[in-house]
Structure 1
Amino acid sequence: MIMMNKRTWMHLLVGTALAVVLALLVNKTSDVNHAEYGEIGSLLRQLKQIDAEWNVDVLRSKTGLNASYDPVASPLPVIESLDELLRSKTNLFWRGHGDSGERIVPLLDNYRQLMGSKVELIDRFKSQHSILRNSTRYLPSAAAEVLAAWQAGERDGLVSAVDRVLVDTLVYTDTPEAGLVARVDESLAQLRKLAKSLPAETAERVAGFSAHAETVVRQQQLGDKLLKQLAVLPTARALDELADMHALEHEKLLVSQQTWRWVLVAYSAALLVALGWFAWRLVASYRMLARVNQELTRSHAELKESQVHLVQSEKMSALGQMVAGIAHEINTPLAYVKGTFEVLREQVAPVAQLAANSVQFAQMLHLPNEQRDRAQLQTLAHQFDKSTREVSGSRVMDEMGQLLADGIHGIEQISEIVMNLKNFSRLDRAKVSEFAVHEGLESTLLLARNLLKNTVEIRRELAFDLPKIQCSPSQINQVFLNIITNAVHAMPAERAEPGVITLRTAREGDDMVRIEIQDNGSGIPANVLPKIFDPFYTTKPIGKGTGMGLSISFKIIQEHGGKILVDTEPGVGTVFSILLPLRPREPGKPDNAGEPALLAA
Structure 2
Amino acid sequence: QKMEAIATLAGGIAHDFNNILAPIMGYAEILLMRAGSDEELKSGLKKIFDSAMRAKEIVAQILTFSRSREGEARPVSVTSIVKEVIKLLSSSIPKTISIETDIREDIPPVVADPVHIHQILMNLCTNAFHAMEDQGGTLFIGLDVVEKKGVKYVKLTVSDTGQGIPSEHLHRIFEPYFTTKKLGKGTGLGLAIVHGIVEVYNGHLRVDSKVGQGTTFEVLLPARDGLGQPEGLEHDHPSSESITRFSGSILVVDDEDAVRRVLKGLVQELGLDVETASNAKEALQLLVEQKKTYDLIITDQTMPGMTGIELVKSLRQSGIETPVIICTGYNSKMDKRMGRELRIVDFLLKPVDVATLHRTLKKVFKR
TM-score scaled by structure 2? 0.45
Between Structure 1 and Structure 2, which shows a larger proportion of helix residues?
Answer: 1
Between Structure 1 and Structure 2, which shows a larger proportion of strand residues?
Answer: 2
Higher CA-based Rg? 1
> Which one has more relative contact order, counting CA pairs under 8 Å at least 6 apart?
2
TM-score scaled by structure 1? 0.28
